[in-house]
Amino acid sequence: MDVKVVEIGNDYVKLIVKGEDHTFLNLLQHYLLEEEGVIIAKYNIPHPLVGEPELYVKTDGTDPIEAIKRANEKIVKVCDELLSKI
Amino acid sequence: MEVEYVEDREDKIVFIIKNVPVALVNSIRRAIIGHVPTMAVDYINVYMNTSFLYDEMLAHRIGLIPLKADIDKYNFQDKCECGGEGCPNCQVSLRLNVEGPKTVYSGDFISDDPEVKPVYDNIPVVELYEGQQLMIEAVARLGTGKEHAKWKPVSICSYKIIPKIEISDCSLCKACVEACPRKILEIKGEKIVVNDILKCSMCMECVKVCEDNAIKVEETDNYLFTIESISMPAKEVLKRAINILKNKAVEMNEILKHINS
Ligand code: SF4
Ligand code: SF4
Ligand SMILES: [Zn+2]
């Protein structure tokens, strides 16, 4: 994984998440949308083989990077919970 | 979140997972199919092949033989110290030196690492006749299903929604009982009962034939997940897939720390 910032502002961020695909990004998008303050969370894969996925997050003013961090922490928590149950 | 096993064998697990988002279940499925590494033959060196099969055909057949291996012992070739050239830390050679008449089986390969060997010894590779000979070195390495299906750790990996079927104001016309292709609906007394909800495929045939709109089939957040593994226990495949997802999230947060907003 490699993350590059394309655009960033107070309430939005556009990242390129190199080397990822639907497997992780769809999960991240789901938990981002659950996050309070997130208005738009969307990823786009321009080409399935050579494309570098873009992730766009728009919030109502809360720090978008912090929102992504919180969503990732939620993924870690859910994974840990699931691991303890199998 | 609840997990409940319906079937629990070493090579196959079927479990119900309750109250989770579909994104998580689908990501686990994708991680199992595409991201859990296994060992498979990458390429073969053919020193002698007088069999009826072309070298390419042999390569294809040998590539698809599932290999058992301790995958934590090996590195991915592109992340290995050797820089992708191939060394004992990232690849294993399996040698085949046979002469006909004989049917060559997967068990005839002699591996450099005795722990890396075909899962089954009785997979036929090619039939050799009198005077035919094979001298092959097959080189196996770690890979993922994203690259080629031969690196998939599972044969079956799927999930389906366990629906909720609600029946109200039913006139007991029996149309749905006959229409259901899985035969899971039944009349018991004055009611339609669902016998085995796990079998329901959500085909909506029962809803279509019901003229009173009495039956409803609804999606829920419960899923029936089936994993049938090949070269390692099914539970281990599942655990590895969840860990892969988790590590991706951890890794991304690590990177985001260095991005100041
Ligand atoms: S949705 Fe299909 S399988 Fe399920 S109960 Fe109705 S007819 Fe049967
Ligand atoms: S088709 Fe509708 S009305 Fe007829 S038995 Fe089934 S649920 Fe009842
Ligand atoms: Zn190496």
Count the Cβ atoms, other than its own, within 10 Å of residue A46: 9
Q: Specify the CATH number for the domain of residue A68.
A: 3.30.1360.10
d(CA B1, CA B102): 54
Give, to the nearest 10 degrees, the angle between helix B234-257 and helix A64-85.
Answer: 160
- Output the average pLDDT for chain B: 93
List, edge to edge, every strand of the sheet that includes B67-68.
B110-111, B91-99, B133-143, B38-49, B67-68, B117-118
**pLDDT 10s digits, B178-205:** 999 999 999 888 888 999 999 999 999 9
* Per-residue pLDDT, B103: 95
According to CATH, the topology of domain B38-152 is: RNA Polymerase Alpha Subunit; Chain A, domain 2 (2.170.120)
Q: Which atom of ligand 2 is nearest to the CA of B215?
A: 7
In contact, A8 and A58? CB cutoff 8 Å = no
Cα separations in angstroms, B218 against A39, B20, B203, B213: 28, 16, 11, 13
Tokens representing A77? 């928590």
Cα separations in angstroms, B93 against B48, B67, B119: 16, 12, 16
**Confidence band (pLDDT; 50, 70, 90) for B146?**
very high
* Per-residue pLDDT, B156: 94
Domain boundaries of chain B, sorted by first residue = 38-152
Count the Cβ atoms, other than its own, within 10 Å of residue B5: 12
**Confidence band (pLDDT; 50, 70, 90) for B260?**
low
A-facing residues of B in 124-183 (CB < 8 A) are 146
pLDDT(B24) > 90 = yes
Write out the residue range of the structural domain in which residue A72 sits. 2-85
* Per-residue pLDDT, B170: 86
Q: In DSSP terms, which residues pair with B7 in a beta bridge?
A: B14
Burial class of A45 by CB neighbour count within 10 A (0 to 12, 13 to 18, 19+): middle
A-facing residues of B in 1-60 (CB < 8 A) are 1-3, 15, 17, 20-21, 23-24, 26-27, 30-31, 34-35
Average pLDDT over residues B196-224: 92
- Which among B193, B205, B215, B217 is the best mutation to test ligand 2's pocket, defined by most ligand atoms within 8 Å of the CB? B215
Higher pLDDT residue, B170 or B7?
A: B7
- DSSP code, position A37: T
Average pLDDT over residues A13-42: 93
**Confidence band (pLDDT; 50, 70, 90) for A49?**
confident
pLDDT(A5) > 80 = yes
Handedness of CA B155, B249, B220, B235 (dihedral sign): positive
Q: CB-based contact (8 Å) between B238 and chain A? A: yes
Average pLDDT over residues B91-97: 95
Tokens representing B55? 């070298």
For chain A, the domain total comes to: 1
In contact, B119 and B67? CB cutoff 8 Å = yes
- C-alpha B82 to ligand 3 mean position (Å): 4
B161: nearest Cα among B18, B259, B9: B18
ipTM of this predicted structure? 0.95
Name residues whose C-beta falls within 8 Å of residue B174's C-beta, 6 or more positions apart in sequence. Answer: B187
Nearest CA residue ID for atom 7, ligand 1: B180
Q: Which atom of ligand 1 is nearest to the CA of B215?
A: 6
In chain B, % helix, strand, coil (3-state, to 5) comes to 30, 35, 35
* Per-residue pLDDT, B212: 86
pLDDT > 90: percent of chain B = 85
- DSSP code, position B125: E
Burial class of B227 by CB neighbour count within 10 A (0 to 12, 13 to 18, 19+): buried
